[in-house]
Amino acid sequence: MRAPDTPLEQPLLELDNLRVNFHTPTGIVRAVRGLSFTLGRERLGIVGESGSGKSMTGRAILDLIPHPGEVLADRMVYRGQDLLTMDRRTRRKLRGRHISMVMQDPKFSLNPVQTVGEQIAEAYRVHHKASSREARERSLAMLEAVQIREPARVYALYPHEVSGGMGQRVMIAMMLIAEPDILIADEPTSALDVTVQLQVLKILDDLVTSRGMGLIFISHDLHLVKSFCDRVIVMYGGKVMETLQASELEQAQHPYTRGLLGCLPDLDHPKAKLATLNRDPAWLA
């Protein structure tokens, strides 16, 4: 792996005019309608409500859109390699090894009949030539890196024996053991309690800082994204409403972003009635 301070000649990921369509009997559902961004070694947030296309964006990058969905783009490039023309085998090798994804809920994403340690070790051996013993040692070190105390004990536990926060850390460990350049985290903390949430974010944050990883952080939580990310893309109905620095989120200009911020109850500014959002059909035009 490169040292994080190596000068960067090219962005990690370039995406131009990404579209995700589903052909259904009742017509075409356009889940993502023309998304473009460039990802560097940074924390990029994608926020939006349900149905905004934020999760579909993450899946499209990994080529995980199920049939009958189709992914179209003018350009989709990972460190100089064109993802659109790449054959499926090469693309699959990239997935998990260089671009990886942490899903929302550990309850549904871990294999229930395999110990969590074996699952992490398997992730390592898929991508690296290693003996089972070496994979085990790596996995234990990784569990320690995501701040699990007694890694040897946790290694032998099954998913139902670990708490939600621990399960989420196990998934992060599994995704990071291959040392990817890009991590896509789809609502990685929304199933967790606030205090555990902060611990998980701290781990992700350290990884971006120490390994120079690029992080795409998909979330519906504006406050969290504001405090955690560097840049934020606000999506609605599959389109980008605006892209802005996370620190400037409060000064957002777009009526949708303003509306989202306005309808949150706020400890400091109590209001008798919460503002509701008026959706303008012109936003999707």
Structure tokens at 229: 């990310």
The one segment of 26-34, 78-86, 126-134, 221-229 that binds another protein by CB under 8 A: 221-229
276 lies in the site for another protein, by CB under 8 A: yes
- Considering only residues 249 through 268, tell me which ones interact with another protein, judged by CB under 8 A: 259-260, 263-268
Residue closer to another protein, measured from CB, 75 or 223: 223
Structure tokens at 179: 């040392």
277 lies in the site for another protein, by CB under 8 A: yes
Site string (160-199) toward another protein, x via CB under 8 A: ----x----------------------------xxx-xx-
Start-to-end CA distance of the chain, whole Å, equals 44
Nearest-angstrom CA–CA distance, 90 and 86: 7
Residue closer to another protein, measured from CB, 3 or 194: 194
State the DSSP code for 258: H
State the DSSP code for 172: H
Smallest distance from the beta carbon of 277 to another protein, in angstroms? 4
Structure tokens at 114: 């395999």
- Considering only residues 2 through 61, tell me which ones interact with another protein, judged by CB under 8 A: 49-50
Nearest-angstrom CA–CA distance, 10 and 1: 16
Asked if 110 and 167 count as a contact pair (C-beta separation under 8 A), the reply is: yes
Helix (H, G, I), strand (E, B) or coil at 252: coil
Query: Which residues pair with residue 186 across a beta bridge?
Result: 218
The one segment of 2-10, 14-22, 179-187, 217-225 that binds another protein by CB under 8 A: 217-225
- What is the contact surface with another protein in residues (CB under 8 A)? 49-50, 164, 193-195, 197-198, 201-202, 205, 220, 222-224, 226-228, 259-260, 263-268, 270-277
